[in-house]
Structure 1
Amino acid sequence: MSSILDLPARHILAAFRSRELSPVDYTHALIARVEASEPSVQALWLFRPERALDEARLSEQRYRRDEPLGLLDGMPVTVKELIATRGDHVPMGTAALPHSPAAEDAPPAARLREDGAIIFAKTTCPDFGMLSSGLSSFHHLSRNPWDIRKNPGGSSSGAAAAGAAGYGPLHLGTDIGGSVRLPAGWTGLFGFKPSLGRVPIDPYYTGRVAGPMTPTVDDAALMMQTISRPDWRDATSLPPERIDWDARALDVQGLRLGLMMDAGCGISPDPEVAAAIMAAVALFQQNGATVLPIGPVLTRDMLDGLDIAWRARFWGQMQKLSADAQDRILPYIREWAKAGAAVSSIAVAEGFEQTFAMRRATNEALHGLDFILSPVNPQQSYPADWASPTNDPARPFEHIAFTVPWNMGEQPAASIHCGLTSSGIPIGLQIVGHRFDDLGVMRLSRAYEEWRGPVTNWPRYDTYAANKVSA
């Protein structure tokens, strides 16, 4: 039964509709995999198997009456824990906050439930979503299923671990500087950061989006049909638009693609990462695209300015907590934020202005091009218990130089699996499109996915009792 968990979401839903497969049987198989895998992977929080089975039974009855609630009826999904779900505490990855149940579902969770999806668990994240790591003062340490000694990245760490470990095909993360794409890159998933406002979210903030993390492009496209529906609570959301999210492969003949191998600052790509990206680029060229090397969009001033502004912002938020609560925040985060205490108001304002500098630079970079290709992560994953690739709170953003500009510029961007390091850790290719061209990024990603072929060596912990195994 575990093999059905590795089928694409559309296949599963079609089997539900034809009654070849019951949502109850599928959920039983999922529960068995989770229970076998979680001692190693530790991706989940609020895993509630009995509630999931109850919802699956109701879904089964609806299918018998040919009355499914919506597109995803009976399909188990996970949601990152800082996306509110009604009645559940939102710990924000930290032991510092008091427990208080959310009054209502946040927009993406509400859309999933409306379409009949079963939110069978929440997924972990680090303190306040401020790390690219599975390290948290509240949650268990989430690990990379490809090698549990390694980090899945973050801040959508649990979503990445759950997706790579095969807890079904549909997982939802959030991204403000790379938090969907970075962990997707290190775990082999397709991670999609939509244009700002394409997926309504609450609370909203500069650059913050919710996006799918899935084994295939089509799984993400399916999820986008649901989560991109409007919600009045997001004042930054885009006008509703009817988009055919079928993710057909884009014909690349004649496309002009920029290739960015230098982020402008931060960590330079490892040789193995660079080689995997160049091998992917060759496929675009072989299929008729013109690939043009381009310079970086980011500068040291931009990255450091954002760092200063975010440190000061978080330091101010920390001051609203009691001294005891502050002591429960992950020490790395406290040390990082402490520098915000001594920053002048002018420096904070100038730092925040760098978000607009990034927006201008990303727009200019795309001018005359159809898409941009680059690495997602410049290096392979790092020890599971590190807070970041540098593990140094004085150098916290060195690894996000390829990803964060597109949050500030509001463009859609994706991470897609393009190879493995010699140690067996996935490498992600980033595909960036013009603002609002979400479907174009999906379809270009789908084209590459077809050339690359399916991923067949996902790590599975319910098949063999080992630290690192493949199905």
Structure 2
Amino acid sequence: MSSPLDLSALELVAAFRARRLSPSEYFDALLPYVAASEPKLGALYAFEPERVRAEAAASTARWAKSAPNGPLDGVPVTLKELIATEGLPVPLGTAATDLVPATADAPPAARMKEAGAILLAKTTVPDYGMLSSGLSSFHTLARNPWNLACNPGGSSAGAAAAGAAGYGPLHVGTDIGGSVRLPAGWCGLVGFKPSLGRIPIDPYYVGRCAGPMTRTVAESALMMQFLAKPDWRDATSLPPEDIDWMDLEGMSVKGLRIGLMLEAGCGMDVEDEVRKAVEAAARRFEAEGAEIVPAPGVLTRAMLDGLDDFWRARSWDDISALPPEKRAKVLPYIVDWAAGGAHVDGPRAVRGFNQTMKMRQACATLFHGLDYLLTPTNNVSAFPAEWASPVNDPAKPFEHICFTVPWNMSEQPAISINCGFTQAGMPIGLQIVGPRFADHAVLRIAHLYEGWRGPITNWPKLA
């Protein structure tokens, strides 16, 4: 092998089992790379190299005795900062939060620990996770490793940056409007948002999911084996289901009716290079026997503005309760945006929330007659690292999530997978959406497309 850092999670486990490589040897290569790259990238929070080295040494000893403590023993994983891990504060991306250590692992953290994975670090997020950006008042600015002048997207900003830069193979983000898929698209990763409740999460909320962010579909499927296990703390979680997540082969799209949505219904225009890459992907599905049919956008201006009203009101309720000295620490963009919620009265907030049901209804109507749907993940291929969003205007906060947010509200599985690069070398994301609960099938279709596309061989190296 050229470098242990090029190994996938599956290859790492095989190497540990065959004693071709030990966890200590792997981390001896990974940790210096991360330390040298972080001043440029800004992907990590609570990076503790000495703790990681000690855990790697313990894992090495277990593998030497052929007694791993789980299927992922010694494999590094990062967790989004918003996912609580026992003993570490959860700043919520903002300098306004009191740093109180979490008393327990949230479900995704607990499942990764039970599988034996080693927590490399937490990953950075914007204030309150309310931006598709790496901009934060608490964390270092996160950048896109494909071009450090560009934004990785968010709110799983650090997770996407870390995955694309090669900070280990496994990363977990969260998604309430596109926060796994959007940064995955901008950073060339696979980002999977499952059906609501498939991966238990705490705290849970309307549309909020956790999801894997990896370089390959197989690695996302590997993580689903553990992340999808039940946890009583999530009252929205689905009943346990016996799914062989690693069964990815043998899928065919022949005879499937697959929609192609190139206009979301409102929001930002789709860049020409993005549109052409997604159209090319659709033609490949068609060449393999699928029926590709034009699909209209499901989102309306009333839906998007209603969602904005509700989320502003909800955020202003939190921010307005802060003492003035703490409110002054919140990212000004967030304060400016949330302050609009002061003018949203109760009936207007309820009408805004009810637009989530309108989205769900529109998505169900669209899928009556479709098996799957293809869309761009992102309207644009890149935007400046220092911006809060691709529009960078708190008066227009959600113009870039129009392809992603409907599927949170409809609770359907959706995955972003790279489908090409712009002339400037920036990744382009293809989103594949399936019916509710068809999580495994969406992974299988993405894996099929990944095989047609071929592997990405030019991942960025920062050090």
Same fold (TM over 0.5): yes
Q: How far off is 1:39 after superposition? A: 1.6
Which 5+ residue runs of structure 1 have no aligned equivalent? 463-471
- In the TM superposition, what whole-angstrom CA distance separates every residue of 1:283-325 from its partner, at most 9, and x where no partner exists? 1111111111011111111111000000000000112211111
- In the TM superposition, what whole-angstrom CA distance separates every residue of 1:23-55 from its partner, at most 9, and x where no partner exists? 111111110210121121111111111111111
Identify the residue that residue 302 of structure 1 maps to in structure 2: 303
Identify the residue that residue 113 of structure 2 maps to in structure 1: 113
Identify the residue that residue 29 of structure 2 maps to in structure 1: 29
Matches within 5 A, 1:292-371: 292-371=293-372
Q: How far off is 1:154 after superposition? A: 0.2
Structure 2: distance between partners of 1:191 and 1:249: 22
Moved more, 83-92 or 48-57: 48-57
- AA partner of residue 115 (structure 1): A
- AA partner of residue 295 (structure 1): P
- AA partner of residue 48 (structure 1): E
Identify the residue that residue 447 of structure 1 maps to in structure 2: 448
Q: How far off is 1:2 after superposition? A: 7.3
- AA partner of residue 201 (structure 2): I
- AA partner of residue 90 (structure 1): V
Distance change in 2, residues 1:117/1:8 (3 Å): same
Matched, 1:418 2:419: yes
Matched, 1:214 2:191: no
- AA partner of residue 288 (structure 1): G
Identify the residue that residue 277 of structure 2 maps to in structure 1: 276
- AA partner of residue 13 (structure 2): L
- AA partner of residue 239 (structure 1): P
* Cα root mean square deviation, aligned: 0.9
Residue 293 of structure 2 aligns to a residue whose secondary structure is strand
Structure 1: distance between partners of 2:29 and 2:216: 20
Identify the residue that residue 8 of structure 1 maps to in structure 2: 8
How many residues are matched?
Answer: 462
- AA partner of residue 66 (structure 1): S
Q: How far off is 1:69 after superposition? A: 1.5
- In the TM superposition, what whole-angstrom CA distance separates every residue of 1:415-451 from its partner, at most 9, and x where no partner exists? 0001111211100000000000000110000011000
CA contact (8 A) 1:177 1:400 kept: yes
CA contact (8 A) 1:69 1:116 kept: yes
Identify the residue that residue 235 of structure 1 maps to in structure 2: 235
- AA partner of residue 454 (structure 1): P
Structure 1: distance between partners of 2:65 and 2:321: 52
Residue 121 of structure 2 aligns to a residue whose secondary structure is strand
- In the TM superposition, what whole-angstrom CA distance separates every residue of 1:242-291 from its partner, at most 9, and x where no partner exists? 11111225211111101111100001211010001011111111111111
CA contact (8 A) 1:145 1:164 kept: yes
- AA partner of residue 192 (structure 1): F
Structure 2: distance between partners of 1:251 and 1:2: 34
Structure 1: distance between partners of 2:179 and 2:374: 18
Structure 2: distance between partners of 1:440 and 1:381: 30
- In the TM superposition, what whole-angstrom CA distance separates every residue of 1:378-403 from its partner, at most 9, and x where no partner exists? 11111100001110000000000000
Residue 324 of structure 1 aligns to a residue whose secondary structure is helix
Matched, 1:457 2:455: no
Identify the residue that residue 430 of structure 2 maps to in structure 1: 429
Residue 406 of structure 1 aligns to a residue whose secondary structure is helix
Identify the residue that residue 198 of structure 1 maps to in structure 2: 198
- AA partner of residue 131 (structure 2): L
- AA partner of residue 422 (structure 1): Q
Residue 104 of structure 1 aligns to a residue whose secondary structure is coil
- AA partner of residue 70 (structure 1): G
Q: How far off is 1:68 after superposition? A: 1.4
Q: How far off is 1:62 after superposition? A: 1.6
- AA partner of residue 396 (structure 1): P
Structure 1: distance between partners of 2:455 and 2:256: 24
Identify the residue that residue 288 of structure 2 maps to in structure 1: 287
Structure 1: distance between partners of 2:3 and 2:321: 49
Identify the residue that residue 67 of structure 1 maps to in structure 2: 67
- In the TM superposition, what whole-angstrom CA distance separates every residue of 1:310-354 from its partner, at most 9, and x where no partner exists? 000000011221111111000000000011001111110000000
- In the TM superposition, what whole-angstrom CA distance separates every residue of 1:128-176 from its partner, at most 9, and x where no partner exists? 0000000000000000000000000000000000000011110000000
CA contact (8 A) 1:173 1:212 kept: yes
Structure 2: distance between partners of 1:362 and 1:6: 39
Structure 1: distance between partners of 2:348 and 2:69: 51
Structure 1: distance between partners of 2:340 and 2:92: 22
- AA partner of residue 259 (structure 1): L
TM-score (norm 2): 0.99
Residue 67 of structure 1 aligns to a residue whose secondary structure is coil
Q: How far off is 1:65 after superposition? A: 2.2
Moved more, 388-397 or 19-28: 19-28
- AA partner of residue 5 (structure 2): L
Matched, 1:39 2:39: yes
CA contact (8 A) 1:95 1:329 kept: yes
- AA partner of residue 315 (structure 1): W
Matches within 5 A, 1:111-190: 111-190=111-190
Structure 1: distance between partners of 2:122 and 2:281: 34
Identify the residue that residue 260 of structure 1 maps to in structure 2: 261
Moved over 4 A (4+): none
Identify the residue that residue 467 of structure 1 maps to in structure 2: none
Residue 429 of structure 1 aligns to a residue whose secondary structure is strand
Structure 1: distance between partners of 2:200 and 2:252: 30
Q: How far off is 1:63 after superposition? A: 1.5
Moved more, 281-290 or 386-395: 281-290
- AA partner of residue 203 (structure 1): P
Structure 1: distance between partners of 2:108 and 2:182: 21
- AA partner of residue 138 (structure 1): F
Q: How far off is 1:64 after superposition? A: 2.1
Structure 1: distance between partners of 2:455 and 2:231: 35
Identify the residue that residue 93 of structure 2 maps to in structure 1: 93
Structure 1: distance between partners of 2:272 and 2:72: 41
Structure 2: distance between partners of 1:280 and 1:41: 30
Identity of aligned residues (%): 61
Distance change in 2, residues 1:119/1:249 (3 Å): farther
Identify the residue that residue 226 of structure 1 maps to in structure 2: 226
Identify the residue that residue 400 of structure 1 maps to in structure 2: 401
Matched, 1:76 2:49: no
- AA partner of residue 228 (structure 2): S
Structure 2: distance between partners of 1:32 and 1:370: 46
